[in-house]
Chain A
Amino acid sequence: MTGFALARVELVLLIPLAAAALLALLPGYRLTARLNVAATLLTFLAALALLFTRHPAPGPYLLVDDLNVVFIALNTFVGFTTSVFSASYVGHELETGRLTPTYLRFYHAMYQLLMCAMNVALMANNIGLMWVAIETATLTTVLMVGIYRTHEALEAAWKYFILGSVGIALALFGTILVYVAAQPVIGEGLDAMVWTKLVAHAAKFDPALLNVAFIFLLLGYGTKVGLAPLHAWLPDAHAEGPTPISAVLSGLLLNVALYAVLRFKILMTANAAAVAPGPLMVTMGLVSLIFAAFMLYRRRDIKRLFAYSSIEHMGIITFAFGMGGPLANFAGLLHMTMHSLTKSGIFFAVGHVAQAKGTQRIADIGGLTETHPWLGWSLVAGVVAIAGLPPLGIFMSEFLVVSSTFARAPLLAIPLVFGLLVAFGALFLRLNGIAFGEPRGETHPVKASYGPLFAHLALVLAAGLYLPPQLVAWFQHVSQLLG
């Protein structure tokens, strides 16, 4: 039985890896795009199998528990829908000549490698392995951001690479410090890097060393989450890369980095003498939220606009997890799920909008609901969702974050609500120009794939109207794990 269970765990990692090797070799757009979709679908099914069966016992490298299974399921699902969107997106890019067949092959291989690295990071029970996986995920996305080889794309990739490496270097230093703290208690060797063992013995670690380690880890992985003031790479990387990559970056990679922070937060709370990680995360979250909310007003590029919106939402999620406690953690988890679905959905729409209009400049996009009704209205629906209007899922999770903050720390709720309202105003101001009014700019027909977009929006709407009790129970259980 355990052998079977282990095989399932490895399937989630091996399918993307094998697909990456295969896609690197195969030529042809139609075949490879379909293979890409098939591989992500298979990975998603394997992850679902993990969700509905008993978890295997944790090994020295891999771990599946109730916390990361949520992340893995979300990760593979959005990976699958994005690959469907990507198939129609890259088809258009090939026709317009922005991508060559060689680069397409490279793109598909990197996409699968990224999926594999993110799944490894989510399943890692070893803090060293987790670091390696996040580093690999970063490098693959750097390569994909630079794939168009325009001036802007190269600059964005370079900036992302430099800032990402600095972040990842700080995270490694933090990881080494955690090992140094664990070594006198657990002993030398592999065991002192295994997360489950670290948590079991965390109470006996030197608290001062753990504090310093956590600061490095928070800054390091926080760079990857896109928390201000280390967010500078994020808008550029989102705006200049292929749109499927923007969707995966916003919807998934930011979550993966946040997941790493959460794992170390659990470690910190297990040690009573160490400084509470909450206030640090609350501060970084609030700063990111308010900063990004104001930055939203001055955006001229549609993808940059939604990239700043991602910083804003990662700020809210970090804030919620920083507050801690069952309700805020529940709200954070829900918000993370809803944000992933909504934001990648928005990027699906934005990708087609940019193709239909031949530009990403907001000033050149107007009256979309008249020229492209389906695309325009689904973008409107997405923005309504991301801005947090009822009855969609994000309204519910934001409501929970705000109400739990009001109950426990009313003073913190003031900047939180302020940031939310500022961002709300900015989004609708921009949406008004993009979706309504006189049609502006050139217009091309576009073969859009609405399936993934509608699937995401439907899920967000469904979650806003009715959350199944099983799901609520599951999230509540995970919230308690988070402490």
Chain B
Amino acid sequence: MPNLAFDTSHLLAGGLVLVSFVLLYQDRLYSMLNVYALHALVLALAVAWQANIQNAPHLYVTAGLALGFKAIIIPVALRRIVERLGIHREIETVVGIGPTMLAGMALVALSMVVMLRVTTEATPIAREDLAFALAVVLLGLLIMVTRRNAVSQVVGFMSLENGLVLAATGAKGMPLVVEISVAFSILIAFIVIGIFLFRIRERFDTVDVAALDQFRGERR
């Protein structure tokens, strides 16, 4: 039993990285939203496990937020937006799936090398969590870079924020201020994005960011 705490948190954090990879190769918006819900669910489990082993009941709030808000409310709301805008077709990617996956693997290797080397003084659980969290953050960035569609960029951004929450909960005893702020920023981000999506819809009849590019002031 002594290693159950470590093994489980390792499993859940690693699972989050795995789901990030699944997110990376989705080419339809609906399936992307489904995978994002799974991402948030795994995050909720990982955070709840941290709350359990750290004896930090306030972390259950973060876990609950991840479960209720990110795994259910946001995917449902985004699905409705996608339906209303009628953009459930394929997502245009900037580069192909193959190179993207290779880049993703390189990023994961990078975050392992960097984080495991510098966190020798931290506890093993915090080390693993931070390394995996950095991987999730970098994969989120990769998703944002390789998609052109506004909704999928938003999903990439939210998966990135999930990585941050994983890091914040892995750091033992980090004040709640930060968790609330992260959840809060997700909320604000979502509202902002909602406004943007509707405005974009109103003006362009497309949420493809490439369509926005041609209006840029200086490309003439």
Contact = CB atoms under 8 A, between A and B. Distances in A.
B153 interface: yes
B217 A166 contact: no
**Most chain A C-beta atoms within 10 Å of own C-beta, residue among B130, B175, B218:** B175
Contact of B196 (A128, A158, A165, A176): A158
Interface in B173-220: 173-175, 177-178, 181-182, 184-185, 188-189, 192-193, 195-196, 199-200, 203-204, 209, 212-213, 215-218
A189 B117 contact: no
Given A139-B188, A165-B189, A190 B215 contact: no
**Most chain A C-beta atoms within 10 Å of own C-beta, residue among B173, B188, B195:** B173
B85 interface: no
A188 interface: yes
Contacts of B204: 151, 154
B192 A161 contact: yes
Interface stretch (A85-93, A203-211, A416-424, A431-439): A203-211
A312 interface: no
Interface stretch (B7-15, B36-44, B159-167): B159-167
Given A162-B144, A165-B189, A169-B164, A154 B199 contact: yes
Contacts of B117: 208
B157 A173 contact: no
Contacts of A212: 114-115, 118
Contacts of B203: 149, 151, 154
Contacts of B192: 139, 142-143, 161
Contact of B137 (A155, A173, A240): A173
A190 B174 CA distance: 7
Given A146-B199, A154-B200, A304 B188 contact: no
Given A151-B204, A173-B164, A236-B216, A183 B173 contact: yes
Interface string A182-198: 01100111101100000
Contact of B181 (A128, A152, A155): A128
A273 B174 CA distance: 25
Contact of B134 (A146, A173, A301): A173
A162 B212 contact: no
Contacts of B196: 146, 154, 157-158, 161
**Most chain A C-beta atoms within 10 Å of own C-beta, residue among B119, B174, B193, B200:** B174
A35 interface: no
A121 to B, nearest CB: 13
A23 to B, nearest CB: 19
Determine the main DSSP class of B at the interface with A.
helix
B171 interface: yes
A176 B164 contact: yes
B122 interface: yes
Given A128-B181, A173-B134, A301 B218 contact: yes
Contacts of A206: 118-121
Given A206-B118, A304-B218, A169 B171 contact: no
B173 A300 contact: no
Contact of A128 (B130, B153, B177): B177
Given A139-B188, A165-B157, A179-B174, A151 B130 contact: no
A135 B185 contact: yes
Determine the main DSSP class of A at the interface with B.
helix
A142 B115 CA distance: 33
Interface string A265-293: 00000000000000000000000000000
B188 A177 contact: no
Contact of A152 (B144, B157, B178, B215): B215
A131 interface: yes
Contacts of A136: 188
B119 A180 contact: yes
A132 interface: yes
Nearest to A133: B181
A13 interface: no
B23 interface: no
A126 interface: yes
A155 to B, nearest CB: 4
Contacts of B177: 126, 128-129, 132, 190, 193
Contacts of A375: none
Nearest to B200: A154
B126 interface: yes
Contacts of A298: 218
B109 to A, nearest CB: 16
B141 interface: yes
A190 B175 contact: yes
Contact of A155 (B114, B121, B178, B212): B212
A184 B121 contact: yes
B173 A189 contact: yes
B212 to A, nearest CB: 4
B124 to A, nearest CB: 13
Given A131-B181, A161-B196, A189-B175, A180 B130 contact: yes
Given A173-B134, A209-B119, A304 B217 contact: yes
B168 interface: yes
B157 A172 contact: no
Given A149-B199, A172-B182, A193-B174, 6 more contacts: A128-B178, A151-B215, A155-B215, A166-B160, A169-B140, A190-B175
Q: Which 6 A-B pairs have the closest CB atoms?
A: A188-B173, A151-B215, A208-B118, A155-B212, A132-B181, A128-B178
Interface of B: 114-115, 117-122, 126, 130, 133-134, 137, 140-141, 144, 150, 153, 157, 160-161, 164, 167-168, 171-175, 177-178, 181-182, 184-185, 188-189, 192-193, 195-196, 199-200, 203-204, 209, 212-213, 215-218
Interface of A: 126, 128-129, 131-132, 135-136, 139, 142-143, 146, 149, 151-152, 154-155, 157-158, 161-162, 165-166, 169-170, 172-173, 175-177, 179-180, 183-184, 187-190, 192-193, 206, 208-209, 211-212, 236, 239-240, 298-301, 304
30 contacts: A128-B177, A128-B178, A131-B181, A139-B188, A143-B192, A143-B195, A155-B213, A157-B196, A158-B150, A158-B200, A161-B192, A161-B193, A165-B189, A166-B141, A169-B164, A172-B164, A172-B182, A173-B164, A175-B178, A176-B171, A176-B178, A179-B171, A180-B119, A180-B122, A183-B171, A189-B175, A208-B118, A208-B120, A209-B121, A299-B218
